[in-house]
Structures are given as structure tokens and as C-alpha cells.
Amino acid sequence: MKVDLKINDKILLSIKKIGINGEGIGYYKRLAIFVPNTLRDEEVEVTITKVLDNYAIGSVTKYKVKSKDRVDPVCSHFGQCGGCQLLHLKYSVQLKEKREILIESLEKYLEKDVDNIIVESTIGMENPFYYRNKTALPIRHDGDKVVAGMYAIKTNKLVYIEKCILETKVVSDTLSKVLDNLTRINVDIYNPRFKQGNIRYVIVRGFIDVEVTFVLMYEDKKLIDKLKNMYNKIDNLVSVNYSINNDLDSHLLISNDVINIAGKSIQGKLRDLEFTLYPDSFFQLNIHMYEKMLEKIIELVEFKKSDVVYDLYTGVGTIALSLAKLVGKIIGVDDNLSNIKNANSIAKQNNITNCEFKFGDSYKILSEVNNLTINTVIVDPPRSGLDIRLLKLLVNLRVKKIIYISCNPSTLAKNLAHLQTQYRIEKIVPFDMFPNTSNVEAVCVLTRK
């Protein structure tokens, strides 16, 4: 049914739920209307900004009835930078809404009754701020000052941010000092408007000690020497690096080798696992919640000393290495060579000998294994989920359990629809890895029927 709705039309709307991107959703003559900065049970006057065949987008012009769960955002950039989509919602309710988003995805894509699937309450944080151990931001000149920021929602306009309430203090403080140093030494910053300059991004990551990596347009020895001199001028900064990326259409920040110009790799600890982290290796942004997730996996799965486990999309092997002492053997697989090298170095660092890490395609490596020797497969795919080849392979494997770690409720539900033909969904546990954002993570345990 086509709805007569045009751009700039004003309508009254009742918000019925929160969408997967954190916006409120209401219905006008059965057409879904997506409205940022609205919450469930709010009554709002909306101006339509975009109309498509099966939905429309609007902006609030007036709040008629506000939610009792609405709170004042504690950041002045809320609604501009797009980093915290749910900062206006009471945290305890954020956790409930994220569980609802997960359940709605299951109801949309699973054919069988989802009422029998146990979806636990979302596990959250006591303090839902200052948890990110990494930030990666574009930088610009603002007059004589070098600044960093995030792009405004759906634009190329940069919102300058001095302090982010999601970053850990050590990361935030280091970023501020790095920008001050860049201002003082008068370096060449890339300007996308004129397509001139060199430094495009700054990446800061750390726990107690911190590393900084600069993304450059091209090699410049004088600039690199200036960046190197930053090493002894900032407390806790133990590593300075750079990488070249002149592909302006790429969504990747790091697309070439990372070159160390001063210091050494950063150190960290995950439960009883000590690790050294390479600058271009993947690592979870919220280490506190990641530890909680690992503890929950161990609680949900009764691992045995005789088990052989495959950990697909292993990253730097933190899950595999954390489970190693509970099983007979665990094989981690990843298609990022730096991750695999880093995983092997961490295994050696912790004297773990029953972990093997393989570089390559998960489907190809798993398809060459005698499936009768595997007890459990762990998958932790990107937001796009598992590809159809791997899904079909997992359906045909006779493994006892699959542990699916998801960062996208929609692709999780779609993938479970395939796996459900041969596996029973025992339990799903949502985790709030990214408080105050719309991101929903979950651990799903499946057993062979």
C-alpha cells in the first residue's frame, strides 16, 4: 500500500520501539518512520526528511510526550558525532532494549517459535563510560591548532571532540597530548577539501602503556623524524608507528604494513593471559566486558580435557588461548597474517603448547578436517556474519556444539535460521560491549540435534 507522504510533511507519531541503529520507530498508515533521538512510548511531531518505498525518515520538531526513561545526555556532542546513539536513554533500559532488538531479529528470520529459545538478560557494565581502549580518528587543522573528531551523522563534516566519554582516561589523555605535540611541531595535516597534506588519521591504543599510529598519505622522512621525536615527550607512550594509505575511497584505515619508528609493542593482560599486541592486530575495545564474555562461555560450555576445538575468526587468539587449559587441543583460524603471528607470539609468551594457529580461509581449513575429531566450533565473524559456504559446512559437520559470538543481531538470526535445521539453539546471552551505542553483541550456544 502506497502512502501519500512527502518531504517536509509534518505528522504526529507514536514511537513503538527502538531500531537496530538506535533510532525510534513509529508507524504512519503502516509505513515505518525512523526518527533519531526518540524513545519507545514517546509522542512526537515529526518533519519528514526522506521517503522511500517501504519506510521514511523524519526529524523531531516537537516532543508532545517524553519517555520517563529519557535522561539528559552527558556529552555536548550527542546528536552530532553519531558515536553514542543511546546516550539519552537510562542505562538499565538500554540493556532491556538491546535484548528486545535481539529478540525481534530472531522473530523476523527464524521460522520456528522463538518463545522456546532462552534469551537471557543483557549483561552490562557497572560504569557504562570510559571503556574503549582504542580510538582512531581523522585529524584536521582548526586555525593553527591540530584537532581530531568524528564525522557528523551521514556527512563528511568533522565534529571536533576534545574528550570522549567512552574512551579510557589513558587513551583520551594521550590523544590530547599527541594533538598538542602535532600543533607545536607544525606538521603537515591532510586537507580533504583541497586534497593536500599528509597525516590523515591518528590511532591511539593502550591499557597502562599506550601506542600511537599515524596514517599518512605518503612517505616523508622529515615528517617521520618529527613524529619519532614525540616518543620521549609523552608519559606512558611506549610505541610510535606509521602506515601509508593514500586510497581515499577505502573504508580501511590500515591497508599497508605498519612501520615502527620508536619504542616497542604494548603489553596487556586478559584474565590470567599476558599479551604483547602488534599495532595492526585486532583486539577487543572493551576488555572488561570481554572478560565477562569469556567467563560466560566457560560457564555455558562444559569443556573437557579430551576436547578438540576450532576457533574461527580467532583474531590474536584471545578466546583460544583463554580456553587452552580446559581442552585437549584448540586450533585458531584467521585470514589476517598479522593476527596469526601475534597469536603465536602470545602463546609462546604464556607457554601455551596445545594451541595451533592457522592462516587462511575458515571454510577451506575446516573442510579439510576429519569432522569426527572436532567437539566444538567457535565462530566470531564480522558484522556480515558467516558466508553461505561455511554455513552449509557447519550444518553438515557432526560437532557437538557451536558457539556463535555475534556483533549483529540481524546476521546472527539469518545464520541461525540455517543452522537450526541440524542444531538446537540452547541459549543466547546478550552482552553490552559498547554501552550508550546501538551495538548489540551476543553469545549463542547450539547443540547437535
Which residues are part of the catalytic machinery?
A: 407
Cell of 330: 584448540
Residues in CB range of 249: below 8 A, 6 or more apart: none
What SS3 state is found at 245? coil
Give the pairing type, strands 423-431 and 441-448: antiparallel
Q: Which residue has the cell 567457535?
A: 378
Kindly calculate the radius of gyration of the chain based on its CA atoms and give it in whole angstroms. Answer: 24
Helix axes 409-419, 91-109, angle to 10 degrees: 40
Task: Please state, in angstroms and rounded to a whole number, the distance separating the CA atoms of residues 162 and 133.
Answer: 17
Running DSSP on this structure, what letter comes out for residue 227?
H
- CA nearest to 330, candidates 284, 399, 376: 376
Q: How far are the Cα atoms of 34, 63, 87, 432, 444 from residue 75, in angstroms, in the given order?
A: 23, 21, 8, 20, 34
Cell of 370: 576429519
Identify any residues that bridge with 205 across adjacent strands, giving them in sequence order: 134, 211
